Amino acid sequence: MNPYIADMFSTVAIANTFIESAARRGIPLTPLKLMKLVYIAHGWWLAQRGSPLIPDEVQAWKFGPVIPALYQRTKQWGRGEITSKIPTWYFDSGNVELPPEAARFVDAVLDSYGKFDGIALSNLTHRPGTPWSHMYRDGLLNKTIPNDAIKSHYQELLRERSSVQR
């Protein structure tokens, strides 16, 4: 059991917040795009808060970082647009109700990354030096990307952003 779980939010709750917010804005979401948005939000949350946003592990798959639990819940849409919220299950871990602060955070991630499609977001998470690039090996399945690696990467992005803004 993850020691941070009381402070985290259900992966489905985060995904559903993206789905609702994107629908309000007329932004189409495919499972690939949603996966990358949840991963990116998790990374920025780790960098800024020091603790995980979601309780589920992230793995290095061929097409980038994947949250297997979310993949299983969204694969019914294939490559098509997600048309409804994901049902929550009684065994979803993490808090299923997002406080306003977390919902605003998800909205901010959507503001920054929502204009990109799933392929562009996948390419972003595939760049050299990303946690995925350090962990992925062709033919090696289910390799976990540690939260510490994700956190370090997004902290570096945060430092780069800060130095550019000075």
Above 70 in pLDDT, residue 41? yes
Q: How many residues does the chain have?
A: 166
Widest CA span of the chain, in angstroms? 47
* Tokens (6 digits) for 14: 């985060």
Per-residue model confidence as pLDDT tens digits over 70-117 = 999 999 999 999 999 998 765 555 556 788 899 999 999 999 999 999
Tokens read off for 161: 């952003």
Distances (CA, A) of 97 to 42, 46, 111, 152: 16, 19, 21, 28
**Nearest residue to 102 via CA among 19, 7, 28:** 7
Helix pair angle (100-113, 11-25), 10° resolution: 60
Tell me: the pLDDT tens digits for 114-142?
A: 999 999 999 999 999 999 999 999 888 88
pTM: 0.91
Please tell me the number of Cα atoms within 13 Å of 6 on its side-chain side: 1
Instruction: Sheet with 64-66: list strands edge to edge.
Output: 64-66, 58-61, 143-145
Distance between CA atoms of 28 and 37, rounded to whole angstroms? 12
Contact 31, 82 (CB under 8 A): yes
Choose between 57 and 165: higher pLDDT.
Answer: 57
Q: Where are the domains of the chain?
A: 5-165
